Chains A and B, each alone.
Chain A
Amino acid sequence: MGMTMTQKILAAHAGLEEVTPGQLIEARIDLALANDVTAPMAIRALRDNGLDRVFDKSKVCLVLDHFAPNKDIKSAEQCKLCRDFANAHDLELFFDVGAMGIEHALLPEQGLVTAGDLVVGADSHTCTYGALGAFSTGVGSTDIAAAMATGRSWFRVPEAIRFELSGELQPWVSGKDVILWIIGKIGVDGALYKSMEFSGTGVASLSMDDRLTICNMAIEAGAKNGIFPVDGATCTYLNGRAIRPAVEFCADPDAAYEQVIEVDLGAIPPTVAMPHLPENARPASELTSVELDQCVIGSCTNGRISDMRIAAQVLTGKRVHPRVRTIVIPATQDIYLQCVREGLVETFIEAGAVVSTPTCGPCLGGHMGILAAGERAIATTNRNFVGRMGHPESEVYLASPAVAAASAIAGHIVDPQNV
Chain B
Amino acid sequence: MRVKGTVFKYGDNVDTDVIIPARYLNIADAEELASHAMEDIDTSFVQKARPGDIIVAGRNFGCGSSREHAPRVLKDSGISCIIASSFARIFYRNAINIGLPILESTEAAENIGIGNEVSVDFETGTIEDLSTGKSFQSQPFPKFIQDIIDNDGLFNSLKARAAEEKGATEGI
Contact status B21-A365, CB under 8 Å: yes
Contact yes or no, A388 B17, CB < 8 A: yes
Contact (A188, B67) CB under 8 Å given A222-B88, A386-B41: no
Q: Known contacts A24-B144, A188-B60, A388-B17; decide if A77 and B41 are in contact (CB<8 Å).
A: no
Known: A24-B144, A142-B154, A365-B23. A385 touches B98 (CB 8 A): no
B64 at the interface (CB under 8 A from A): yes
Assess the A189–B68 pair: CB atoms within 8 A: no
A206 to chain B, nearest CB (A): 26
Shortest Cβ distance from A86 into chain B, in angstroms?
18
Chain B residues 82 to 136 lying within 8 A of chain A, measured CB to CB, are 86, 88-90, 93-94, 97-98
Q: Which of A24, A37, A219, A383 contacts B67 (CB 8 A)?
A: A37
Chain B, Cβ-Cβ closest to A41: B68
Return the contact of A41 from the options B18, B64, B69, B159 (Cβ within 8 A). B69
Q: B1 → chain A, closest Cβ, in Å?
A: 20
- Whether A91 sits at the interface, judged by CB under 8 Å, is no
Q: How far is the CA of A89 from the CA of B26 in the complex (A)?
A: 23
Q: Answer whether A45 and B60 are a contact pair too, CB < 8 Å, given A37-B25, A75-B26, A142-B94.
A: no
Residues B26 and A74 in contact, CB atoms below 8 Å apart? yes
Q: How far is the CA of A309 from the CA of B15 in the complex (A)?
A: 33
Q: Which of A66, A143, A146 makes the CB contact (< 8 A) with B25?
A: A66
* B163 / chain A contacts, CB cutoff of 8 Å: none
B40 touching A387, Cβ below 8 Å = yes
Report which residue of B26, B60, B98, B153 has the largest number of chain A beta carbons within 10 angstroms of its beta carbon. B26
Contact of A24 with B142 in the complex, beta carbons under 8 Å:
yes
**When chains A and B are docked, how far (Å) is the Cα of A78 from the Cα of B26?**
7
Interface check B139, CB cutoff 8 A: no
Interface residues in B28-74 (C-beta closer than 8 Å to A): 28, 40-41, 59-60, 63-69, 71
Alpha-carbon gap, A140 to B154, bound state (A) = 12
Q: From residue A215, how far is it (CB to closest CB) to chain B in Å?
A: 16
- Taking a contact as CB atoms closer than 8 A, the residue among A48, A138, A189, A385 that contacts B18 in the complex is A385
B65 touches A143 (CB 8 A): no
B60 touches A49 (CB 8 A): no
Chain A residues contacting B26 (CB-CB under 8 Å) are 37, 67, 71-72, 74-75, 77-78
- Chain A residues with Cβ below 8 Å from B89 are 192-193, 222, 224
Expressed in whole angstroms, the Cα–Cα distance for A71 and B26 within the complex equals 10
Q: How far is the CB of B114 from chain A (nearest CB, A)?
A: 20
> Do B86 and A146 touch across chains, with their CB atoms under 8 A apart?
no
B88 pairs with A142, CB closer than 8 A: no
Q: Mark A140-182, 1 if CB is under 8 A from B, else 0.
A: 1111011000000000000000000000000000000000000
Q: Is A38 touching B66 in the complex (CB atoms < 8 A)?
A: yes
B90 touches A138 (CB 8 A): yes
Q: Does A352 contact B (CB under 8 A)?
A: no
- Chain B residues whose C-beta falls within 8 Å of the C-beta of A40 in the assembled complex: 28
Residues of the A chain whose Cβ atoms lie less than 8 Å from the Cβ of B88 = 189, 192, 222
Return A155 CB to nearest CB of chain B, in Å.
10
Contact among A140, A365, A388 for B66, CB-based, below 8 A:
A140
Q: Are A142 and B68 in contact (CB under 8 A)?
A: yes
CB nearest neighbor in B for A51: B155
In the complex, which residues of chain A have a beta carbon less than 8 angstroms from the beta carbon of B154?
142-143, 146
B68 touches A140 (CB 8 A): yes
Q: Which residues of A contact B158 (CB under 8 A)?
A: 49, 146
Measured between beta carbons, the chain A residues less than 8 angstroms from B41 are 386, 392
User: Residue B13 at the A interface, CB < 8 A?
Assistant: yes
B68 contacts A385, CB within 8 Å?
no
Query: In the docked arrangement, what's the CA distance between A86 and B71, Å?
Result: 27
Given contacts A78-B28, A145-B155, contact A189 B97 (CB under 8 A): no
Complex Cα spacing A388 to B64, Å: 10
State whether B66 touches A386 (Cβ < 8 A).
no
- 18 A-B interface contacts by CB (under 8 A): A24-B142, A37-B22, A37-B25, A37-B67, A45-B155, A66-B22, A67-B26, A77-B28, A124-B65, A142-B97, A142-B155, A143-B93, A189-B59, A189-B88, A192-B86, A192-B88, A383-B15, A386-B40
Q: Which 5 A-B pairs have the closest CB atoms?
A: A140-B94, A140-B68, A74-B26, A189-B60, A142-B97
Give B residues with C-beta under 8 Å from A: 13, 15, 17-18, 21-23, 25-28, 40-41, 59-60, 63-69, 71, 86, 88-90, 93-94, 97-98, 142, 144, 153-155, 158-159
- 13 additional A-B pairs beyond A366-B23, A392-B40, beta carbons within 8 Å, are A38-B68, A48-B155, A49-B155, A74-B28, A75-B26, A123-B65, A139-B90, A142-B97, A143-B93, A188-B60, A364-B25, A383-B15, A392-B41
